[in-house]
Structure 1
Amino acid sequence: MALQLSYEAFNKVLQELKNEYKIYAPIRLQGTGRFSDTDVVRYGEINRIEEMVIDEKAHFSPKEILFPITQTLFYYTSEEYQEPKEEDKKIIIFLRPCDIHGVMRLDQVFLKNGSLQDVYYERLREKVKFFMIECTEGFDNCFCVSMGTNQTESYSAAIRFGEELIIDFKDEELSPAFEGFGKTVDFSPEFIQKNKVEVRLPDTENIDNSLFEQDMWKEYSQRCIACGRCNFVCMTCSCWTMQDIAYEDNPNNGERRRVWAGCHVDGFTDMAGGHGFRKNYGDRMRYKTMHKIYDFKKRNGYHMCVGCGRCDDACPEYISFSNCINKVTQIVGEEQ
């Protein structure tokens, strides 16, 4: 069922939903950008629909809601351990189709990658409902159409922004909050059909070991500074490391945390004895690229990258991942 309603009416719906849900959307954080006197757009809780930023791409993905940057797994003493208390409220996230596809990739990694599920991810994931933001134009560096992630049906509600809001909700659990608001209309969300950036994907069957020795990777050894920004803004990067935090007043007490890590960051592959894999930055770019458009697809049947373009947006050295994919395709041949 689709409803057309005013912003004021929708804010009343949000207040009703907030009794049961935490509601996250892209918001503007003033003065916290990576350059002085600039803003950043990232995900945070909202109380009113006007707080949302819809005319800019979020610099950070909604990944951090489901897979927190730092997550305490348990607290410990010398005799026992205890997991943190779970949040009772469920979660609503406003996000675009490419990011919904990104969550599906995270689901594959954390829930379907072998016989065991990641219980910490699973506990958050099962609470989440998606409110899909209709996206018909895209932004600079987006290439979701090339990746086949420009449209989806995996949402609880779809929303179109205009002079008034039009929302189509498929989840009947949401119906009570909307009773008495708006008028019924016909509405089917539209999706972008052409990006400014086009990516040609390689035929994975033509990839062999010779690709790993190509000179193209040397360019990234000279340009990459191993800051890891591309990993941390990416919707589908899912690597992490463990930290044990001992408390100063009693070193026998503390907590174990899961913390984001990334293949571009120094120390990621360090091993006992001082050995480390992929110390060369070009090797790290090669590893990430082939994971996004080769290894993951060979295992799961679809590419890991969703074409959001955030890695291109964030790179301080202006390294373009979409250009990198096209270079690989030029070498090995295009998908049929």
Structure 2
Amino acid sequence: MGFKLNIKKFDEQLETLRQEYKVYAPVKLTGKGTFADTDTIRYEEIKSIREIEFDAKSSFSPKEIVIPITQTLFYFTEDNCIEPKCDEKKILIFLRSCDIHAMKRLDEVFLRNGNEDYYYKNLKDKVKFVLMGCSESFENCFCVSMGSNSTEEYDMYTKINDDEVFIDCKSEELMNYFKIDELESVEVEPEFVLFNEIKVTIPKNLDQRIFKSKMWDEYSNRCIACGRCNFVCGTCTCFTMQDVFSKDNKNVGERRRIWSSCHVDGFSDMAGGHGFRKDKKDRMRFKVMHKVYDFKKRAGYHMCIGCGRCDDICPEYISFACCVNKLNEAMNEVE
């Protein structure tokens, strides 16, 4: 059972909620796309549900809310270190089922990987999820194959139909922001995709023998090591550290955590000049195997969520889904 109310009333409740929450959702940014006069859809703070782009896939994932692109970990002087002040507001994120599954993968990496990441936990503990349904599959999506097309792990579900908002609220805390006398009870069922045009099959016998397959050779020439696929991916977590020093005093500055990518040059370089995976085909192999093999051995489920953003963004039209499907033939080759 759920309820509905008109958009104006919902926005009034949203404004009240914004006193304690930062509310993020995918919005269309006109003229901010990769090329001139193109748009992009990415996560921004909103004031009205009308701003949300419900009918198109976001170009970037919501991970940048809980893992900022650039994050100051601490400030330092000659004598001490100071942790930056945290925003006291909680966080509300409108996102799709696949991205809720992506957050589970981020939790696995940052919270259940031996030691909890202090900075990630501080942000993630504040987050509540508002599910956005998918009435049909978007281009390049293969979420059904990856089992991320549906979820029950949400605090609230919303859907706009004409001038009305249909809501299923599981969170008592969020429910307190609605005025009960303004709500009309109705049946509300989240919309989930049940079919994708693209299907992915991961070999059951997949193992490290695939490393010797010739299937990776094509990526030495096709991949340009830009890292775009990693940056839009909802489950990629690679980062690097950077110390920024004051111009006036070289002993004063700040340490930042900054997104990085296993595809870009220099990421796996070590002191002494040695570098792992200098060839781009080796980087592609590393990423693919991490998404559909290595991570599952530890966590019990695949890292990839099938959102297809990597395929959407690649300037060389490399398809991750096609690459994964090639693993079947490649395993027969190495057998």
After TM superposition, the score normalised by the length of structure 1 is 0.96
| Cα distance in 2, alignment partners of residues 56 and 190 from structure 1 | 15
Q: 2:24 is matched with which residue?
A: 24
What's the secondary structure of 1:252's corresponding residue? coil
Q: Per-residue CA shift, 1:66-111, capped at 9, x if unaligned?
A: 0000000000001111000011000000000000000000000000
Q: Are residue 92 (structure 1) and residue 92 (structure 2) matched?
A: yes
**Match in the other structure for 1:103:** 103
In 2, the alpha carbon distance for the partners of 1:49 and 1:190 equals 18
In structure 1, the gaps of 5 or more residues are none
1:139 and 1:309 map into 2 onto residues whose CA distance is 9
**Aligned structure 1 segments of 4 or more residues deviating by more than 3 angstroms:** none
SS at match of 1:288: helix
- Mapped to 2, the partners of 1:90 and 1:9 lie a distance apart of 22
1:264 alignment partner, SS class: coil
Deviation at 1:168? Answer: 0.4
Aligned to 2:186: 185
Separation of aligned partners in 2, 1:262 and 1:246: 24
Cα distance, 1:208 vs. partner?
Answer: 3.5
Deviates more, 1:155-164 or 1:79-88: 155-164
Q: Which residue of 2 aligns with 1:43?
A: 43
CA distance in 1, matches of 2:146, 2:249: 51
- Tell me the amino acid that sits aligned with residue 265 of structure 1: V
The amino acid of 2:103's aligned partner reads V
Aligned to 1:196: 197
User: Cα distance, 1:243 vs. partner?
Assistant: 0.3
CA contact (8 A) 1:293 1:303 kept: yes
CA deviations on 1:181-220 (whole Å, 9 max, x unpaired) are: 33111112131100121111221xx233331111110111
1-side partners of 2:329 and 2:294: how far apart? Answer: 18
1:308 aligns with 2:307: yes
Q: For residue 95 of structure 2, what is the amino acid of its counterpart?
A: L
CA offset at residue 297 of structure 1? 0.5
Structure 1 residue 176, shift from structure 2 partner: 2.0
Equivalent residues in 2 for 1:145-294 (5 A)?
A: 145-163=144-162, 164-179=164-179, 180-203=181-204, 206-294=205-293
- Partner of 2:265, secondary structure, is coil
| Secondary structure at 2:294 match in 1 | helix
SS at match of 2:261: coil
Deviation at 1:177, TM superposition (A): 1.2
Q: CA deviation at 1:329?
A: 2.4
Q: RMSD in angstroms over aligned alpha carbons? A: 1.0
Instruction: Tell me the alpha carbon deviations over residues 285-336 of structure 1, each in whole angstroms, 9 at most, x when there is no partner.
Output: 0000000000000111100000000000000000000000000123337xxx
1:88-146, Cα deviation, whole Å (9 max, x unpaired): 000000000000000000000000011x2001000000000000001121200000000
What is the Cα deviation at residue 271 of structure 1?
0.7
Residue matched to 1:130: 129
1-structure distance, mates of 2:37, 2:285: 35
Q: Conserved in 2, the CA contact under 8 Å of 1:230 and 1:310?
A: yes
Q: CA deviation at 1:152?
A: 0.5
1:276 partner SS: coil
Q: Which amino acid aligns with 1:80?
A: N
Does the aligned pair in 2 maintain the 1:6–1:182 contact within 8 Å? no
1:160 alignment partner, SS class: strand
Q: Contact between 2:215 and 2:330, CA under 8 Å: does it hold in 1?
A: no
Distance 1:9 1:201 in 2: 47
TM-score by length of 2: 0.97
Q: Is the counterpart of residue 11 in structure 1 residue 16 in structure 2?
A: no
Identity of aligned residues (%): 57
Matched-pair contact (CA < 8 Å) for 1:143–1:308: yes
Helix, strand or coil at the partner of 2:129: strand
For 2:13 and 2:75, the matched residues in 1 are separated by 38
- 1:296 aligned onto 2:276: no
**Residues 256-305 of structure 1, C-alpha deviations (whole Å, 9 max, x = no match):** 00001110011100111111110100110000000000000011110000
Note if contact 1:136-1:193 (Cα within 8 Å) is conserved in structure 2. Answer: no
